[in-house]
Amino acid sequence: MVSENPFAEFRLECENVLGEAIKKVFPEFYIPRLTLERPPSLEFGQLASSMCFELVKQVGETPLVLAERLIKALDKSKFSLIERVAAAGEGYINFHVDFAKFSALTLESARQLDAEYGFVKTQEPLKIIVEHTSVNPLHPIHIGQARNPMLGDAIARILKSRGYTVFRHYYIDDVGRQTAVIAYGYEKLGKPKTEGKPDHFIGKIYTITSCLVEINRLKRELELAKAVSATEEITKINRELDDWVSVAFELKEKFPELFEELLEKIRENEDPENMVNKLNRAYEAGEEKAKQFIREVSELCLQGFRETLSRAEVFYDSWDWESDFVWSNRVTEILQRLKTTPYVLTLGGILEFDAEKVVKKLNLKEKLGLREDYEVTPLTLVRADGTTLYTTRDIAYTLWKFERAEKVVNVIGMEQVLAQLQLKIALHALGYSKYADNLIHFAYNLVTLPGYKMSSRRGRYITLDEVMDEAVKRAYEEVAKRSPQLSGKEKQKIANFVGIGAVRYALTEVDPSKPVVFTWDRVLNFEKNSAPYIQYSHARACSILRKAARKPEKPAYDLLKEKLEREILLALASFPDIFVEAAELLKPNLIADFANALADKFNTFYNALPVIKAEPQELSDARLALVDAVRIVLRNTLNLIGIVAPERM
């Protein structure tokens, strides 16, 4: 017999026999859905019910007496995976699994289903778009942004394994002042050939150009303020100008030649800020020359992104240009439709969307999880200069996504909570409440590096490329120390998947609501809670099976009586439940946590009990089957979070 979810089989059997017993003993009572919990220790069984503490409110008996009555009424002829049931504590009903049968079911299921074990399929195989990463094409992806692709890719992998049809989308935010700044600087340099990796080169141009344009703008504002003797304004501008001058000094030291060349070229324009704004408006309007400049520079940056992300095994089904939605009139159509609602007004040439009014009119507070006293900030749809804002364009993009899928998951940082909320409210205002209900903002917290403060405007950031390079380098040193007999080529191969896997795991295993504190001691720890530790455990399982040089032909599962063995069996049987929870709640960290806990149990088992030399051979075969199942489940968990499961390390 093979089961896609062995522990669920046991749970269902317990629920059924207990439910029937309650109906038999108390036919007149309404019994709500039974809930079973896991006891804190194996000695108390594998599942427990506290139902008697609820029943005591309707029956004049103690919970313990009720528990004993119900246990007596159980139909033992229907026991298959249940070995025995006992009353415990003040009135708990504890179910003990028949480990011989349960071990056979779990291990045979894992070994036969193999790469599919644990991946319980959904009853509603929806089409889902997972939009993730979407780093603006301004500079290289840095470590502060790298959590997004790792989480987004893991979510996509998990949902696909759950049986959903998943599409991975990258939204290219190429509309707005920032991309116009780069294009302006790139054009001033005469569209130079890239030096080194294209996204790194573009990042330098952006940082320097942005700084020089800001200094020029502030100097012009300072002259105007002095002309009217606006003392407070002069003080404020001087403070901001001093800050940007310090940025310029830092950038000149880092990139002297590029800085001087851009400084000379930008000085040719009396008002660079106006040139940037004109280019921005021209691009949004779809003017050919502006399209050529900005698309060219964006494509260069994206080329670098693709190189970086493919190295981390992150890929996309679609790259969606924000500008396409503007030029196709989709954004204009959305604005026209919003204007026909009672929620849009014009103030001083600015088009505003009254999100709070929508929430009150449609009674959305509870549905959106908002406090009654919380007031949603209005959303600016169009600026006074006629350009639209990111969230305005995102409304059109979201409707486009829902033409292709039934559910959309946006992997975006916590700082975008308000924008994502306003987006949902706009969908409600337009009559797309079903879409709003199926739009999920997967929010995540920041990545911090102790003792290092990143600043994009100062060009002060650690790129994902640099982090992966350093991780591979450190992994190579560790592999060389642990396995000196390997060739240099083998060491490098192992170092590559260990180093990159370590980075992926570190950015995935922390609860998304909490920040990731990135330290090398934790990321590349071969001894605990890291990708290398789990990979090493998988390789160790493979090594045991290789050394055995035989398949377990006559496993006596009833001989697996050690506590460690049973703990591992329960973990293996529970993997499908963990997987379903991770898929439905979008929690890839649950998979990472499970993999680490299983690796812990397996390494303790390996160090404590013989496998190949265990006697009799039927016990050795049973333990080999256990090791094989551990190998399968570790590999399946690592695959879900995009990490290589090596056979040798």
Other beta carbons less than 10 A from residue 121's beta carbon: 12
Domains in the chain with CATH codes: 6-97 (3.30.1360.70), 127-173+321-447 (3.40.50.620), 177-313 (no CATH), 464-640 (1.10.730.10)
Contact 341, 429 (CB under 8 A): yes
Other beta carbons less than 10 A from residue 366's beta carbon: 8
Residue type, 40: P
Please, what is the Cα angle at 280 between 381 and 456, to 5 degrees? 90
DSSP for 535-587 reads: HHHHHHHHHHHHHH-S--SS--GGG--SHHHHHHHHHHHHHHHHHHHHHHHT-
DSSP for 227-286 reads: HTT-HHHHHHHHHHHHHHHHHHHHHHHHSHHHHHHHHHHHTTSS-HHHHHHHHHHHHHHT
Name the residue among 613, 574, 611, 609 with its Cα closest to residue 595: 574
Q: Which residue has the tokens 């204007």?
A: 339
Distant-in-sequence, close-in-space partners of 170: CB < 8 Å, separation ≥ 6:
131, 132, 133, 134, 316, 318, 319, 320
pLDDT digits (tens, 9 = 90+) for 596-641: 999 999 999 999 999 999 999 999 999 999 999 999 999 999 999 9
Q: Which helix (H) or strand (E) holds 442?
A: strand 439-442
Which pLDDT belongs to residue 529? 77
Q: Which residue has the tokens 């987004």?
A: 152
Give, as one character, the DSSP assignment of residue 387.
P
Name the residue among 214, 270, 261 with its Cα closest to residue 242: 214
Name the residue among 614, 620, 425, 643 with its Cα closest to residue 535: 643
Rounded to two decimals, the pTM is 0.93
Q: Which residues of the chain have pLDDT under 50?
A: none
For 396, the token pair is 């059109």
Q: Which helix (H) or strand (E) holds 353?
A: strand 350-353
Residue type, 50: S
Exposure string for 200-232, b = 16+ CB within 10 A, e = fewer? bbbbbbbbbbbbbbbbbbbebbbeebeeeeeee
Which pLDDT belongs to residue 61? 86
Which pLDDT belongs to residue 30? 73
Contact 155, 442 (CB under 8 A): yes
Residue type, 330: R
Contact 13, 81 (CB under 8 A): yes
Q: For 511, list phi and psi in degrees, rounded to 5.
A: -50, 130
CA–CA dist 73, 602 (Å, integer): 39
Which pLDDT belongs to residue 387? 86
Q: What is the pairing mode between strands 82-88 and 36-37?
A: unpaired
Which pLDDT belongs to residue 513? 94
Terminal Cα-to-Cα distance of the chain (whole angstroms): 35
CA distances from 450 to 4, 145, 505, 526 (A): 44, 16, 19, 21
Secondary structure in 3-state letters for 186-213: HHHCCCCCCCCCHHHHHHHHHHHHHHHH
| Cα 359 → chain centroid | 29
For 617, the token pair is 């051979």
